[in-house]
């Protein structure tokens, strides 16, 4: 009989994607009899505390990015670099204290580069081995990759949430020419695994809008979508990805607003909606693929990872995508019917059996 491990899992707080893809890992670790502690901040911690109210949680601040209102985020990211490096160092110091006080055996960090430590077994989850940057400065892409690998290889293992072979969702991001020495492909991660889908396919809504991600771009997209959807006769639900204290919006004749939704609620909403509209985040795409749902994906302007993923899945004829400043919902609703995601292999979580 294997010894029960004390495992700390901590997602990055940039939208809800990192936290949502950690949900099936936490569920499996609990099934295997391990003691799990969740650590994080913001809405990502709120999501995990909502999903797992029985688990101990620790506030562990992460780097909080704020995007610009324009099409490029490069300048904003560059001026934030010193703060980002400081946050990595702060995470490292805080983790050291948590490991000592909580007697942690394993740390699973979802895209938090400072959460490694020689006192325990440390794992980082990331699909972004290759960091896409604007073509105008693409000459530094290799330099960024070396810096990325420097931090990744501080961990005992790097889990890539994708399949090594086709069909894979991450494309070049998770399949560069050379991968880190400690990297292993673990398959897709989605909180909407098939055993969770007991809701049938009765359509109650025409459109489901799922919003998340850093401000002000989350709110900018929300305003654009409300303006366009208000002019068409489609029953729509907005899941705003905001906590209860965020400015509330009153329901209209054809639009209902929900501040925040747990996995059971969001699963039912997705299954009962004809079309989903969301950002082109990697975890969102994995979730939509798991539910075989047609979707309109809108990458965050200047967020090069999402822009790459949007182009990648559109070229594969898996999901229809449009740029935010070219958004035409009426046209997108007609086009989305031509796209279909292939069947994705269900994850058996064999990579957790060694714990």
Residue 5: Cβ-neighbour burial (10 angstroms; 0-12, 13-18, 19+)? middle
Nearest to 237 by CA among 222, 223, 258: 258
pLDDT of 195: 47
Q: CA–CA separation, 285 vs 288, rounded Å?
A: 5
CATH architecture, domain 194-338: 3-Layer(aba) Sandwich (3.40)
pLDDT of 198: 57
Domain residue ranges in the chain: 6-189+346-352, 194-338
Compute the chain's Rg from CA coordinates.
Answer: 20
pLDDT of 111: 95
Topology alike, domains 6-189+346-352 and 194-338: yes
Q: CA–CA separation, 213 vs 53, rounded Å?
A: 24
The 10 Å Cβ neighbour count of residue 156 is: 15
Q: What is the H or E stretch that residue 226 is in?
A: helix 217-229
Where the chain has pLDDT below 70, the residues are 1-2, 63-81, 135-136, 193-201, 243-246
pLDDT of 302: 86
For the beta sheet containing 56-59, the strands, ordered from the edge strand earlier in sequence to the opposite edge, are 56-59, 35-40, 6-11, 106-110, 121-125, 157-160, 183-185
Q: What is the H or E stretch that residue 76 is in?
A: helix 74-102
pLDDT of 2: 64
Backbone angles phi, psi at 263, to 5 degrees: -60, -40
- CA 296, chain centre distance (Å): 17
pLDDT of 43: 87
CATH architecture, domain 6-189+346-352: 3-Layer(aba) Sandwich (3.40)
- The residues, any chain, with a CB within 8 Å of residue 265's CB and separated by 6 or more, are 258
């Amino acid at each position: 009989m294997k010894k029960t491990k004390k495992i700390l899992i901590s997602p990055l707080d940039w939208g809800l994607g990192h936290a949502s893809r950690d949900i099936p890992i936490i569920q499996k670790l609990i099934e295997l009899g391990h003691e799990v502690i969740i650590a994080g901040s913001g809405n990502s911690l709120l999501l995990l505390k909502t999903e797992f109210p029985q688990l101990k949680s620790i506030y562990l601040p992460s780097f909080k990015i704020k995007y610009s209102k324009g099409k490029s985020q490069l300048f904003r990211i560059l001026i934030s670099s010193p703060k980002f490096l400081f946050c990595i160092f702060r995470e490292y110091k805080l983790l050291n204290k948590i490991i000592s006080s909580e007697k942690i055996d394993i740390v699973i960090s979802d895209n938090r580069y400072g959460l490694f430590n020689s006192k325990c077994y440390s794992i980082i989850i990331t699909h972004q081995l290759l960091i896409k940057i604007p073509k105008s400065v693409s000459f530094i892409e290799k330099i960024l990759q070396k810096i990325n690998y420097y931090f990744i290889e501080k961990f005992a293992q790097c889990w890539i949430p994708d399949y090594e072979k086709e069909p894979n969702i991450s494309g070049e991001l998770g399949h560069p020419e050379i991968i880190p020495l400690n990297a292993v492909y673990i398959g897709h991660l989605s909180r909407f695994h098939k055993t969770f889908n007991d809701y049938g396919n009765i359509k109650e809504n025409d459109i489901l809008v799922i919003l998340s991600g850093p401000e002000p771009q989350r709110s900018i997209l929300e305003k654009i979508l409300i303006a366009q959807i208000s002019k068409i006769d489609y029953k729509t639900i907005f899941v705003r990805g905001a906590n209860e204290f965020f400015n509330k919006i009153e329901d209209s004749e054809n639009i209902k607003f929900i501040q925040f939704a747990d996995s059971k609620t969001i699963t039912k909403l997705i299954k009962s909606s004809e079309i989903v509209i969301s950002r082109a985040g990697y975890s969102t795409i994995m979730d939509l693929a798991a539910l075989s749902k047609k979707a309109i994906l809108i990458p965050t302007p200047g967020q090069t990872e999402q822009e790459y993923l949007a182009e990648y899945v559109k070229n594969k004829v898996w999901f229809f995508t449009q740029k935010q400043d070219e958004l035409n919902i009426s046209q997108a609703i007609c086009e989305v019917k031509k796209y279909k995601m292939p069947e994705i292999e269900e994850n058996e979580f064999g990579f957790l059996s060694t714990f």
